[in-house]
Structure 1
Amino acid sequence: MKKPFVSLFLAVPLLFSAVPASAGGGAALHFEPGRSALVVTDPQNDFLREDGKLYGLLKDNLARLDTVANLERLMQAAKAGGYLFAVDPLVYGALDGQWTQAGALQRQLLDMGALRRDAAGGGDFYARFKPYIDDPATVVVAPHKLYGPESNDLIYQLRSRGIDTVVLAGLVANLCVDSHLRALMENGFRVYVVKDAVGAPGEAAYQAALVNFGMIANGVLSTAEAVAALRR
């Protein structure tokens, strides 16, 4: 009798991840300018540029999803619709390497000099996105140092502008995007994750992220669905 129950339990995440997002009651989803924001994590060279220190881990998933083009479509839609666009980067400074309690992956990133804002430019924003990020209306929050926004001012910046709904995308799906999703949900935001505007280090990591997105978020959208919902 236990085997059918176990099989059903294991299938639950897949069922959750397949549930489409809507505004409720079957109505088409629509975001409200002034209350909704696009939040993109880590749109930086080390993840997205071919010579980036972490690009090799993500390149297959980025190519399959067409992540860069989808992120740009989201940025364009947010700007055109008058939505807040917030960027939350992962950046390490020269002294961060002295931390004594860094986690395993964090220690590797520090030791390899990844995501630094220096002459190498690995922590700088990806050039294709700079016109949207350099816009004075874009909010670039203080860098986070691990995976979620607990160590920076993202939540304050959103709340102080009356934001209660977030469209979430960026890098890396199973780490920073997942952690931001959890933190934002814990703080009372509605969160919709854009599943093809992320990137992950391999298909297994991407599928793991999708399971969590489907179980935690208010909705999981494609870029086309998110762009349609951002239109005024």
Structure 2
Amino acid sequence: MTQALSIEARRTALVMIDLQHGIVGRSLGPYGGPEVVARAKQLADAMRAKGAAIIWVRVLLNELNFPSADAPTRAPDAPPAPAIASELAPEAGVQPGDIVVSKRQWGAFYGTDLELQLHRRGIDTIVLGGIATNFGVESTARAAYDRNFRLVFVEDATSSLAADMHQFTFEKLFAHMGHVRSTQQVIEALA
């Protein structure tokens, strides 16, 4: 049974992960990049209007750390990504006053000022979404959970490289870390 949810907007930040040119066009599941971006914009508009902080996180693709791995996310000899690949998709509707955090790892806390930005605004709740569920979103969620932030995961404003990966994370991990809701449910919960 799903608990009733109330979100105090002034103590909440919407944190959207990696909605940028080099990521939203990839093959994703269960939702396509344009769907996730459209829902992120809908959330940002509604939450901004209620006084929530809006934070867009982007990964600097050419500065990502690629340690040795059996299945690397990028081939060691791959050419650099074009600069636009690290720029946020304009369809997300980033506004003056929104915060943009640039990262060089999967997670948005490591090596960034995200935690400082949240604390200086008195934020104790993070509404989280973006791409990809099992990489940047999950890594950020784990760090936020470790820092005792209340978490609300927006299932239909998040996607992964495959639908089954996404479903597993939402059912087996995120439901234990916070509240899993749809875009519409989050908007209805705003106070």
Q: Shorter-chain TM-score: which interval?
A: 0.7 to 0.9
Paired-residue identity, %: 26
Alignment of structure 1 residues 36-51 onto 2, 5 Å: 36-49=12-25
- Match of 1:150, SS state, is coil
Gaps of 5+ in 2: none
Q: 2:175: which partner in 1?
A: 214
- Which protein is richer in strand relative to its size? 2
One-letter amino acid matched to 1:82: G
Alignment partner of 2:78 out of 104, 107, 111: 111
* 1:176 aligned residue (136, 157, 164): 136
Number of residue pairs the alignment of both structures matches:
189
Q: Which residue type is aligned with residue 116 of structure 2?
A: Y
List per-residue Cα deviations over 1:138-162 (Å, max 9, x = no partner).
0112324233422211111101111
- 2:2 aligned with 1:20: yes
Range 66-75 or range 167-176, more displaced: 66-75
Structure with the higher fraction of residues in helix conformation: 1
Query: CA offset at residue 166 of structure 1?
Result: 0.6
Give 2:8's aligned residue.
32
Distance 2:146 2:12 in 1: 17
Aligned match of 2:98: 138
The 5 Å alignment of 1:61-72 reads 61-63=30-32, 66-72=35-41
Q: Secondary structure at the match of 2:152?
A: strand
| SS of equivalent to 1:61 | coil
Give the direction of change, closer, same or farther, for the CA distance of 1:159–1:123 in structure 2 (3 Å limit): same
Gaps of at least 5 residues in structure 1 are 1-18, 23-28, 50-54
Larger Rg: 1
Instruction: Calculate the aligned-residue CA RMSD, in Å.
Output: 2.5
1:228 aligns with 2:188: yes
SS at structure 1 position matched to 2:61: coil
* Contact 2:66/2:74 (8 A) holds in 1: no
Counterparts of 1:110 and 1:71 in 2: how far apart (Å)? 34
